[in-house]
Amino acid sequence: MKKAELSYLVEDRARIAVRVTPKASRNEVMLREGQIRIQTTTAPENGKANKAVLKLLADALGIAKSRLELIQGATSKDKVFQING
C-alpha cells in the first residue's frame, strides 16, 4: 500500500481496527474485504511487533506515529488504534 493511501480515514478520535500477522515474510498494509490487515516481519516479543505495526499504520495513514495510540489488543492479533490530535 502506498504512503498515505488510507489518509481518508484520518479524523480526530477515530478508531481504526486492524488484523495483524506477525513474523510474516514482508511488511505490508492491505485492505481486504473492508478490513485493514497488517503483516510485519517482527516477532511479537516485548511489544516489538506492536511498534512495527504502529509505524506501518502511521505511514499508511500519512500521519505521525505519535498521533496513534493502541487502545485495545496489545497481546492480540486484532487491535484497535485511536487517532489523537
pLDDT in tens, 43-84: 999 999 999 999 999 999 999 999 999 999 999 999 999 999
Nearest to 28 by CA among 13, 14, 18, 16: 18
By the 8 A CB rule, do 63 and 54 touch? no
Give pTM, 2 decimals: 0.94
How many domains does the chain contain in total? 1
Give the range of the structural domain holding residue 39, as residue numbers without chain letter: 7-83
Question: Has residue 27 been placed in a domain?
Answer: yes
Question: Has residue 71 been placed in a domain?
Answer: yes
Question: Has residue 24 been placed in a domain?
Answer: yes
Question: Has residue 51 been placed in a domain?
Answer: yes
Instruction: Give the pLDDT of residue 83.
Output: 97
Question: Has residue 2 been placed in a domain?
Answer: no
Question: Has residue 59 been placed in a domain?
Answer: yes
Question: Has residue 48 been placed in a domain?
Answer: yes
Strand partners, 38: 20, 29
